[in-house]
Copies of this chain bind each other. A is one copy, B any other.
């Protein structure tokens, strides 16, 4: 991933509404979610949400699938992987960052996100 692509991806996440939307989509998993549901869940006007979803699309962080008159959005982990790889390679000390050090026995852990 190039520097400019990293900026693009980071920009996609560097805003409260968008990060919330992305987080929601991640939580929604493979089923994804539709704008109406997201808007209600996060209490964001539909048009504002649409604006941010477009931003997430531009950042290539989400995908959309049209079925009839509804559109399902899903988090796209490919870009997220590339971003984390970039940050790990370019923005870490090379030894310390969280990626390599799984937080020594730090309550091994509540969520299914573990390594």
Contact = CB atoms under 8 A, between A and B. Distances in A.
Interface in A73-115: 75, 77, 80-85, 87-101, 103-104, 106-108, 111-113, 115
Given A81-B96, A97-B84, A90 B16 contact: no
Contacts of A100: 103, 115
A86 B96 CA distance: 15
**Contact size range, A:** 35 or more
Interface stretch (A3-11, A31-39, A44-52): A3-11
Nearest to A8: B14
Q: Closest 5 interchain pairs by CB? A: A94-B106, A84-B98, A10-B14, A14-B14, A81-B98
Interface of A: 3-4, 6-7, 10-11, 13-16, 19-20, 22-23, 26, 29, 75, 77, 80-85, 87-101, 103-104, 106-108, 111-113, 115
